[in-house]
Chain A
Amino acid sequence: MSVLDTIRTAIHSLRANPLRSILSMLGIIIGVAAVVSVVSIGTGGQQQVLANIGQLGSNLITVMPRVPRGTAGRVQQDVRSMFTVAMAEDMERLLPDVINVVPVVTTRGRLVAGGVNVQATLVGVTSPYTEVMNYRVADGRFISEWDVSAQQPVIVLGAELAKDLFEDADPVGQEIIAVVGNRRQVLRVVGVMEPRGQAMGGDLDSQAYLPVSTMMDRIMKTRSVSYFAAQARGSERAAEAVAQVEFFLRRRLGSTDYFRVISQDQILETMSAVTQTLSLMLGGIAGISLVVGGIGIMNIMLVSVTERTREIGIRKALGAKRRTILFQFLVEAVTLSALGGVLGLALGWVGARVIGYIGGWPGVVTAGSVAVALGFSTAVGLFFGIYPAMKASRLDPVQALSFE
């Protein structure tokens, strides 16, 4: 008996009972749909996170202060006070693979323009900041070197912030008042940034940028810097750049306990590891439903073998060998599960699109998840189909023929 005949026979049997066939496929359909959409959510989410990180800037190196383990809050202040503008200048001058070291000072404050009053994050930076962050001015200009050296009272607004303060009017050239604590500073708007959207570390569009010197000396009256943002000379020099920064700061601060250097590569690696683990975990949970679906198919196949005992007896009397019967029932089980896999894939694809639409990322159904879904559902059919098929093939023809 040819393979094609066996498959034809199996499909004929399944079509004789369409409702039951569909119901027994349901478990697999749901299982595969769950796996496909969950993996798609994971992949889509991951792509979005990676795109966000990529937006941060090219070859970005961030140097953050760190509290030594087991110390109290006061020490944190000491450590923070160790980061200075002079250190930024020294790093840029001395470290061969590090360029554009920007000392960054951040604080929360209020911005007042006319009658409008908005809470914002004020960020003190130097002029290379736009280059380091891969960020552009949409209107006017950014903080210049002269603004920094002369402590100019100027400010560049994030896109959202500019809209909040001035609505449709042109903010460039306007005067606003920054209120931080009990200090007030009149500032002149010199530029508006391009819209950037949500990114790692907050909404850049509702931040405002000032010369770091203006921030430190006029507004905050501080000598310490919040963190450094710098760039490696090239992506292939990123590791050396990180090592040089670490070497420099260890010499200056005495210990690596006081700071942490994070390169973009590291963030990318960590984030992909996290999202990958997450989608693997969710996919695994969804995979359990595949196993449950397989058990459903086994159950139906066992019922079917019992119901069709007489048919099996007749087939054996007419010359069907054990393996012919085995193969027939196995093909039925695999057809059920594989067809369930295809339907589940379609359902999962729709689910991925819908969830992607809601979540705002592309509903990606990768070739990998298609292969895994179909492969697994077929394997589930094989695994759970083999026992009922063996049971059918081992029936004694005399007993099977006398079965009512």
Chain B
Amino acid sequence: MAVMFAAREVRKVYDMGTVQVHALRGVSFEIEQGEMVAIMGPSGSGKSTLMQIMGALDKPTGGAVFLDGEDITTAPDDRLAEIRNRKIGFVFQQFNLLPRLTAVENVELPLMYAGVGRAERRRRAIELLERVGLGHRLHHRPNELSGGQKQRVAIARALANNPAVILADEPTGALDSRTGAEIMALLKELHAQGNTVVIVTHDREIASHAERIIHIRDGLIVEDERLSAGRKKPYTAGDGPSGQGGSGAAS
């Protein structure tokens, strides 16, 4: 299996004027193509920062992240925009749909930025919405949809350009448990179809849907746990920013 994500000694320091906040203190791991991985940790653990860096939304202070073999920490802004557009499908806790656009128009957005023609865009958006079970809600605006339906639109949008990876940040955080379970089922289904899925969560229950949980705390990976294979692999590498540590997932 090809390596989809490779994080090498990723550090992120926020300069808050007088105080420097070390959000990530040297994180290394690999995620292979087709894996479903949860990145889990309490709030303030650095998991959101990690997701932003993995999603090419932010750049680390040190270290490197390779997505599909390409270093996304040194690429220029325009290239990062292309990577976000083509290779990453974001699913956010707050859905982040544009309120004035209909469901189908929201799904069309990444296709529009990819330069897909109008008719083709519409055809593919409808297809994607049907795939997530929203074929009957194409022309509804977000405020006319339930939370679960909104998240389905967001997932359809994330799939628009056949991304290399789906990055879901607390995808069930704004949903009741029943709807949350439906969304998790949908994500698992996408994983079963061969998609690489990365879920960032603080919720053990949600994380347990994945095959593997990367536990993060205080900016460091504390455990890399494999579930589906039935084996728990404790995270054993060095826990400081120095040294050879942080290669927990490499094997």
Residues of B within 8 A of A (CB): 52, 55, 57-58, 77-78, 81-82, 84-86, 90, 92, 96-98, 100-101, 109-110, 112-115, 118, 157, 161
Contacts and interface: CB of A to CB of B under 8 A. Distances in A.
Nearest to B55: A317
Contacts of A324: 81, 113
Tell me whether chain A's interface is mostly helix, strand or loop, or mixed.
helix
Contacts of B84: 316-319
B81 A322 contact: yes
Nearest to B53: A398
A5 B112 contact: yes
A401 interface: yes
Contact of A316 (B81, B86, B114, B115): B81
A114 to B, nearest CB: 84
A252 interface: no
B203 to A, nearest CB: 20
A320 B113 contact: yes
Contact of B96 (A9, A321, A401): A401
Contact of A397 (B57, B98, B115): B57
Candidate in B82, B84, B112, B157 with the most chain A CB atoms within 10 angstroms: B112
A223 interface: no
A324 to B, nearest CB: 7
B19 to A, nearest CB: 18
A285 B62 CA distance: 57
A312 to B, nearest CB: 11
Interface string A290-320: 0000000000000000000011011111111
Contacts of B82: 319, 321
A243 B65 CA distance: 90
A16 B102 CA distance: 13
Contact of A315 (B86, B92, B100, B109): B109
20 contacts: A1-B112, A1-B113, A2-B115, A16-B100, A311-B98, A314-B98, A315-B98, A315-B109, A315-B113, A316-B84, A317-B84, A319-B84, A319-B114, A319-B161, A322-B81, A396-B58, A397-B57, A398-B52, A398-B58, A401-B92
Contacts of B90: 317-318
Nearest to A9: B112
A391 interface: no
A398 B57 contact: yes
Interface residues of A, number: 25
Given A5-B118, A324-B81, 12 more contacts: A1-B113, A9-B112, A13-B100, A314-B96, A315-B109, A316-B57, A318-B110, A319-B82, A319-B85, A319-B113, A323-B78, A401-B57
A221 interface: no
Contacts of B81: 316, 319-322, 324
A12 interface: yes
Nearest to A320: B113
Contacts of A314: 96-98
Given A1-B113, A2-B115, A324-B113, A319 B86 contact: yes
A398 to B, nearest CB: 5
Contacts of A9: 112
Which 8 residue pairs across A and B have the least CB separation, nearest first?
Answer: A319-B85, A319-B113, A321-B81, A318-B110, A397-B57, A314-B96, A398-B58, A16-B100
